[in-house]
Amino acid sequence: MEKKNQVALGIFLALLFTTKTVFAMHIMEGFLPPKWCITWGAICIPFIVVGYFSIKEKIKVNPKLKMLIAMVGAFAFVLSALKIPSVTGSCSHPTGVGLGAILFGPTIMSVLGFIVLIFQALLLAHGGITTLGANTFSMAIVGPLVSYFLYRLLKKLNVSISISVFTAAMLGDLMTYVTTSFQLAMAFPDKIGGFVASLAKFMSIFAVTQLPLAISEGILTVIVFNLLTKYNKRELKELNVISEEA
């Protein structure tokens, strides 16, 4: 088990030290009006509470999952630190939440994503505390929900594991930015076209940078998932992520 953990840890440390560029994380500090900061923060609370108790329950049943949970949190932290400037006050980047959602479910990733966003806001000046609720909702709630349910659906339809993981991670990433576009459009509707025109503008700008990033994240997630299948197959079977025949 120690050898498995060392292999996984080595991968993420290598990724961590390749991260150089620093930009704003999702929606930057002070960019949203106060009413939207409060609204998105309130919406996130139930998901984080449920996720906290889900983590406690999984660790209670199997304490060995601690390392795997920490690893998917590190994966999300590293990938979400790789950024390309996009819409004013925001940026495009991989999210890394699809892997954790596939392994542990969406609510656990709500907690891990929330923690990732706090650390990046405080330590790396990515995003901000006032926009923490909005960023958590898009990256740590919507993204994991899409990835989790899409993976389960494709698995039920007997689609191959690699295609299921790739599709779930890629679309989970894209839906994060669709959600961010909605958030920005609601906060800043176009003076002429209103919400719809503003949404179309934000989504079209995001698409230029986010589509290739989402595809890249899908491929990387498949690679890491295959490594986990090789070194942590028993844990994945216990989590019902892969079948006994896999």
pLDDT at position 30: 85
More confident residue, 125 or 176: 176
Q: Give the number of other Cβ atoms within 10 Å of residue 101's Cβ.
A: 30
Overall average pLDDT of the 66-92 stretch: 77
d(CA 147, CA 16) in angstroms, rounded, equals 23
Instruction: List Cα–Cα distances, 32 to 12, 90, 95, in angstroms.
Output: 33, 11, 21
| pTM, 2 dp | 0.84
pLDDT at position 131: 93
3-state secondary structure of 85: strand
Overall average pLDDT of the 58-84 stretch: 87
Bridge partners, residue 148, by sequence: none
Residue 54 confidence (pLDDT) above 80: yes
Radius of gyration of the chain (CA): 18
3-state secondary structure of 133: helix
d(CA 134, CA 62) in angstroms, rounded, equals 32
Amino acid, single-letter form, for residue 120: Q
* Exposed e or buried b per residue across 29-49, where buried means at least 16 C-beta atoms within 10 angstroms of its C-beta: bebbeeebbebbbeebeebbe
* pLDDT bracket for residue 39 (50, 70, 90): very high
pLDDT tens digits along 98-157 = 999 999 999 999 999 999 999 888 887 777 899 999 999 999 999 999 999 999 999 999
CATH number assigned to the domain covering 24-238: 1.10.1760.20
